[in-house]
Structure 1
Amino acid sequence: MKAEAAARAFWPLWVAFALTLALWLSGWRGPWVFYLLGAGVLAMLGALVLGLRRYRAPTTAAVIARLDRAIPNQPLAALLDAQATGLNDPAAQALWRAHLRRMIAAAGGAKAGWPQFDLAGRDRLGLRHLALVALVGAAIFGQRGGPVVTPDLPGFSGTDYPLASWEGWATPPTFTGLPTLYLGDQPEGAMDLPEGTRIQLNLYDAAGTLSVEQTVSAPQDPQAPEQIFTVAQDGSLIINGAPGAEWDIGMLPDQPPEITLLDERTADADGRFQWPFTAFDDYAITGGHVTISLDLDKVERLYGLAAAPSATDPVVLDLPLPFTGARREITGDVTDTLSQHVFAGLPVTVQAEVVDAAGQVGRSAMIEMTLPGKRFFQPVARAIAEQRRDLLWSVDNQPRVLGLLRAIYFQPETLITNRNTQLRLSYAIRMMTRDTVDVPEVAQLLWEIAIQFEEGALSDARERLRRAQERLDEAMRSGASAAEIQELMDELRAATEAYLDMLAENMVPGESTLDQPPRDQGEQQTVTQDQIQALMDRIQELMNEGRMAEAAQLMEQLNELLENLQMQEGEGGESRDGEGQGGAMQDLQDTLRNQQQLSDETFRQMQEEFGRNRGQQGQQPTPDEGTDQSPDEGADEGANEGGQGQPGDNPDMQGQGGGADPDQPSEGGTGGPGAGDPQDGPDLGGAQRALRDQLETLRDALPEVEGESADRAAEALDRAEGAMENAERAIEQGNLPEAIDQQGAALDALREGMQAMREAINQQQQGESGEYRQGEDNPSASAPQRNDPLGRGGGAGGPQGERENAVPENGQRRADDILNELRRRAGERERAEEELDYLRRLLEE
């Protein structure tokens, strides 16, 4: 405890003493050293005085308490106690003596333990440790302390040892990955160093006895204290003097990298190619690319390629290099698609190039090939893609490309079937008629249009199946590669599976086969999905064997089989009213058909009157003489101005003049809308009035049903009857465009009413079922089942058959029909020029 008290009181004295002694042992010289030593002595005196004032010797009580803390029951303190009671009681005295004996025995094991200086709280800066380190260091390494403390160490015994008089390092280039060599450790003789190795020599020779001779680089001052040079050739390195050294240095040259494009090059039908390559360098490859250049001499300069190309800049593709790891030897694939580039499908030359860290370049052999591109099997898609390439090839091809696009646009019957594609093609034509044509933007739009033609509406299973059949058939005829045919065959399998899944969703529970009638329409034949799969397997087997003719025959059988599969209402959908319901619904379909024919005839008559009016205006010498205008002419001009009578802007009009037979009488007893001499003009108003009366009569004959669907059917038929009345009034007033609009509204309302009525009838029937049948008539209909103007099954067939063939957007379909008819008539060159101009303006708007 006295040591603890002394340490706590005199630790500053220790710090001052240790620092002062360390300063003296270091052997530093100078006037400031004596000042520091004097300050140290004063600090020691001050610390001594402060320590004497702080020192407190431990008391007896503190010693006893310290010892008792380590012993149970505090025996030392108990020995100092005196008996307080029972001084005259022998028993109490005996008990007290026994207690003292036990305490004496316990106190015999008392120990003070190690001192606990507890200086951390007083010396928060750790000055005592700093002073100790300084004292030890000065005692070992100081000028005064060294010979005393370590008299036997080399350098302190008075014996002189020779020191190194030169140092040298050889540092290879970083990209080699080789370590730096210390020349003092390298044995003399032959030594190989990579090209570009940096050699550094430091000469510690004030007397000038050392010199350097080297022939691996440009000569330098042989006695310069520091010499730095780079290995550029084979040679020698000699250090003259004591100690000297000599090496014969062989330079390891950095070889240029090598790259090879392998022959296993592949490409798929979408134009994505894969070109394998191998590259090698003695150290590391830092970059590389593939250059694709147009081989203009091999291009067949025909049609759009006859013009001088606008740009023939090569295409540069970066080589894929590993991010980590060694790059001495690299094996990889150049994978990309250049289907949208103007070089696609043209002769090109391909050359790969790699660079190493030293900047050396290695090139592969030049390869001549046809640059892979997406293969278009649909003829219109292929034509548009070709015109797009011609436009990118040269802007001089713009008139030629514009003419072909217009030819496609004005012949939509067999070329265009998608409304969105029509609009985009129209927009592309307008873009190309501008004063300044943005060629990249037009090319991108044409590419998207070509893709739409090629792929079509793949979301619909039936359309997807048809597209897959057409693409595979075209590939077989055009001699596509085995890989492309395999890819298209897989696409056909997927499309067939999706189509069969769609049919299976509506099959009767428990059915697992598809029914097909024989050619004589007799009893049904059962076709399983396994049989369809086996037929496709046989087709693929024949194609793999090269027997394309036999494969084409089986392909026709498969197409016919899948085309004839259709969804019809089973016997469970038979009406309890039997022939009454089927006959009423059939009559309602006949009314719809007659209304469509009447709408076609109204549109035809409007065009004829417009042609006559245009001819009369062409004979008038001045515009002032033609100020009097008939109602029909005003209506026609309103159509031309984009008013409500404009056919192209009315999405509810369906069926042009070519879609109906004006001489066919209606089945409702009203007479066909086209009856009469076309020169005199048919009685359109009377025909419309007869159809309205027929609809009113049929409404009384419809089956009595209840429910929400029945209410919707009644409301739709009310709208149809009102639209017919409005159309009749417009015809009587001579406003044929307004009449066409109202007739279109009547057609839409009739379709909606028929659909709602079928739903209401089927909701009242129990045990509905649907089957996949081929050519079987609906047993619930009294008359042979016929299709309505939209191609849907008539009669009381349930919603399954209707759901298969119905068009979801009637207005969109009608607008498409009108546009198709306008384009067809605009393409008939025998029409009057005025009428052709009018039709073109309608199409452009």
Structure 2
Amino acid sequence: MTARLDRLVAQARAAGLWERAWPLLWRGIGLVLLFAAASWLGLWLEVGPEWRMAGVAAFALALVAVLLPLLRLARPDRREALARLDRDAAARDPALRHGPASAAEDQLAVGLADPATRALWALHQRRAAEAVARLRVGLPRPAMPRHDPFALRAALVVTAVASLFVAGTEWRERIGSAFDWRHPPAPGPNYRIDGWIDPPLYTRAPPLLVTLSEPEQRLRAPVNSRLVVRIAGENSGAAQTALTPNAGLRAEPGKEGRPDLREERFQIVGPRADLTVATPAGTRRLTVETIPDLPPEIRSVGLPETNGRGTFNLTYRARDDYGLASAEGLVEPLKPARSLVPPPRISLALPPDASGESDAKTLVDLTDNPWSGAKVRFSLIVKDEAGQEARSVPVEMVLPARPFRDPLARSLAEERRRLMTAPDDSRRRVQTALDALLIAPETFTPQPSVFLGLKTAGRRLRRAETDADLTEVAELLWEMALKIEDGDLSDAEKQLRQAQDRLKEAIERNAPDDEIKRLTQDLKQALDKFLKEMAERQGREPRQQQQQSERNGQSKSVTPEDLDKMLQDMAEAMKRGDTAEAQRLMDQLRNILENLQTAEQGGKSDPTAREMRKQMQELDQMSREQQGLRDETFKEGQDRRNAEQGQRGQRPSNRGQKGAEQGQQPGQQGSQGQQGGRGQQGREGQRGQQQQGQGQGQGGVGERQQALRQRLEDLQRRMKENGMKGEEGLADAEEAMREAEGALRQGREGDAVDAQGRALDGLKRGAEGMQQQMQQMAEGEGQGEQPEGQQPGQQGQAGARDDDPLGRPTRGRDMSDGRVKVPGADESAVQRARRIMEELRRKLGDPTRPREELDYFERLLRRN
């Protein structure tokens, strides 16, 4: 027990000594860490030898001062060690809280002669030995928080580690620099010349480095680039460097503020720029050949496409070598005159690419603008980032205006335009027009509110003295025109257009999702109100007019579910970041809304257009009847030959069948099926009965062929009455029908079939010619001289083009004019790219494809 207790006491004294020494040792360690951090951070590199000596000396004296108390540090005695053992035992085991280490040192003072005392003492010593055997020396506890309550030791460690990373591979050299007390040699010429070329941002070209390491350097850079030459040095070497630019460089203010830094800036403006740099080390020359910035180009693609509500689409192509900055449509009056409002400047959408290979389209809404309906000079203007401007060839045109069905509303809109665009010349005329409308109220203004409004407008116009007064009268006329034309629908339409404009502007500036969602909901509410009021207005129309519109095929419309689907697709496109798709859907929605009333206007087209459509339908019916006659003639002729050859015991001849099958048109099978029973009945009879039946059948077919020919003659006559030219195809069809008619009377079925085939071909060519004539007549009416206030292509638009309200051809329309649906044409660039990438990945995952093909697909995916 005594030996174990001695070992425990020695360990306890060592632990106590460490607890007393560690706070003093940590002061020295912290001082060493502070010295290392200062060295690694480059303190000694910034001071001279004298300061380095002073710094090292200061750190050395401080180290001695903090470690000197270690020499006077006393080792704990045996009593303190026993007390430490007792504290550790009590903290570890509550059963040993009576001080077993100190108890093991006790001596029996009296009672050595008493056996009971000796027995009790032996028991005490045995228990003390057991307790000593269970004793352990705890770890040293220097109580550093008491000596360093602010934990500065952690800050020193973090600082030292961070400075070590700053020094990197130079950590040894930086510590050694503290003990380098030599003076540096006298400095010689020390300067550096750097140069670079910054192209303009709109070129998207990277900067070019000017090395000036060789006697001559040649570079190519865009015009208007900036050349920067920077000379840095601490002596006269920088001042001795001379820069000599030529005329292709224009000097700009350089950077100032530092005596050891010289910076020269030049703008490259000429086709060739030369800069000579003369230094004490030699002469360097820089030559820059400029890449010119070509001016932009823009041109119109076709005439403006007018929609049913007076808005129009502008299609154009623009190009620039570096990209376009802005595009707009410029409206100029034909004659310089004072106006109350300036001509509109139309902001145009930029093309999807600046190469000029694809068309750009902008929907323009000038229906509320006073200049709508005026004859102006119109041109397109485009600017690039450099400020260069290009203008398309100006054209004279009538700005499309909102169409008014009510004559009074149309008159008020025209007078408003005259008053706003030419107040000096038109004021008297407008006053006269308003007074004339008040002459016969029961004829022109049967409604009291309209009569009072016109009287108020006339009185205000007569008393107007300023431009503001004239503008107020013009706005009153416009409001009256809208109320007369649409009633309460004008307010709903205005709210709808405002909601469209707000959503379109938010999409263009890539607004947050919450704002897009709120504006989409506002547009949906405005759209519901607009459709509801339009439906109520259509419900008030006479039933006869609605039936006439339905017969003309003009009552087709889009469902509210379709519009809701478009709004949902637009919101989804914005969520996934496809701004181009969202803008495309927005433009498509605006086009649909602009064309919703085309059916209503189309039902009131001119009688000539309705008669032309009727003739086209009649010609189509005649073609079907001619096909049925041809099928019937071919079938009866085949049955007759089969019966005759069956009587002779020979196989039926197929003469004439090949030609009939080659000329067979779609729908022939149904005609043959209708005539099949007739041929079967002929084969079951006798030869004489067959010949008699065939003769009667041919006579019936011949009579119907004659009636069909006469109908064709009447159709051609009515075409000429409508101002259409005679079609060669119809004349050929009529002649072929005569030949077929004669062949049927003579029983020559094969010749009749051939003639009827030529008649079908002539009817087809005639229909195509009639379609082209109708289209040319519609375009001629739109491009010819229009009444003032009527936009080109407005009259007869719904009648001449058999389209639905969405601008799509109806089922009965011939697609020979090229207006067909191209698959994927409405697809955005992002969707098309995503679809192509998915297809490439699908093919790449097919292990059955050749290895060369898989490698090719993989290269395509890497490039994208």
Q: TM class, shorter-chain normalised?
A: 0.3 to 0.5
Q: TM-score, normalised by structure 1?
A: 0.44
More helix as a share of residues: 2
